[in-house]
């Protein structure tokens, strides 16, 4: 009986060793890694905020729709840490009832409008020349809570990052500065002649 147990133990040990040798190595950050998140309520917004909180040098954002307060606040916090932050949004944000582009522009974050296309449909964040966040996931509350979306967090692929950075620069070059609508309304009121019944102060259009 003891001999049988010894043989069984040896066989199991050999099988375990073979299985470990055949298992593919897990890709670490040094070899490149990709994390995937799905919505609704799959942690995509949390992942974006976490990556932004770790930014040290530069953040570049291309957004189609932009209503996520947590993401906007994380961008502002990055700016306060001295990170170079820029945002390019679709031209639809000029007329949206609510957009965080107003917040970022009025907080001094360089925010631009890409109106060189029918739709600037990119959803991309580039961080420190090392990390790419992209997918169908819009940077919005609806994308996090109601829509079926996906987000990829890609690290360790420097050639891919360079392609994305070149693409960002291309779109940034033909974009124009976004003027936060609170600032726009104030400027218009100051320039409008005061005659008859003027607009009420602070009215949003």
Q: Summarize the confidence of residues 9-31 as an average pLDDT.
A: 41
Instruction: Please check whether residue 96 lies inside any domain of the structure.
Output: yes
pTM here? 0.74
pLDDT of residue 182: 65
Confidence of residue 61 (pLDDT cuts 50, 70, 90): very high
Q: Which pLDDT value is given to residue 93?
A: 94
CA angle 62, 68, 74 (to 5 degrees): 80
Band (54; pLDDT cuts 50, 70, 90):
very high
**Residue 76 tokens, joined:** 């502002």
Helix (H) or strand (E) holding 21: helix 2-22
Q: How many CA atoms does the CB half-sphere of 183 hold within 13 Å?
A: 13
Confidence of residue 87 (pLDDT cuts 50, 70, 90): very high
Percentage of the chain surpassing pLDDT 70? 74
Tell me the pairing of strands 58-63 and 84-90: parallel
Residue 12's pLDDT band (boundaries 50, 70, 90)? very low
Q: Which domain holds residue 164?
A: 30-181
What CATH number should be reported for the domain holding residue 147?
Answer: 3.30.870.10
| Mean of the per-residue pLDDT values of the chain | 81
Residue 114: both structure tokens together: 């890409």
- Summarised one tens digit per residue, pLDDT across range 92-139 is 999 998 999 999 999 999 999 999 999 999 999 999 999 999 999 999
Q: Are strands 176-177 and 111-114 parallel, antiparallel or unpaired?
A: antiparallel
Give the SS3 label for residue 142: helix
Q: Which residues contact 13 (CB under 8 A, 6 or more apart)?
A: none
Domain total in the chain: 1
| Rounded Cα distance, 144 and 128, in Å | 25
């Amino acid at each position: 009986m003891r001999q049988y147990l010894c043989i069984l133990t040896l066989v199991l040990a050999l099988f375990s060793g073979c299985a470990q040798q055949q298992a593919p190595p897990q890709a670490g950050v040094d070899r490149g890694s990709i994390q995937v998140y799905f919505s609704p309520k799959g942690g995509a917004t949390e992942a974006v905020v976490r990556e932004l909180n770790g930014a040290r040098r530069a953040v570049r954002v291309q957004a189609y729709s932009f209503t996520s307060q947590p993401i906007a606040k994380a961008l502002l916090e990055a700016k306060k840490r001295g990170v170079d932050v820029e945002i390019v949004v679709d031209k639809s944000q000029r007329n949206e009832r609510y957009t965080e582009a107003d917040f970022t522009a009025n907080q001094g974050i360089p925010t631009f409008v890409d109106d060189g296309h029918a739709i600037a449909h990119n959803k991309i964040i580039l961080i420190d020349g090392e990390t790419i966040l992209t997918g169908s996931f819009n940077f919005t509350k609806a994308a996090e809570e109601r829509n079926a979306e996906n987000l990829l967090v890609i690290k360790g692929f420097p050639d891919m990052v360079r392609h994305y950075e070149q693409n960002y620069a291309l779109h940034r070059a033909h974009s124009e500065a976004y003027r936060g609508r609170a600032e726009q309304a104030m400027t218009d009121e100051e320039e409008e002649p005061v005659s008859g019944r003027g607009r009420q102060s602070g009215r949003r259009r």
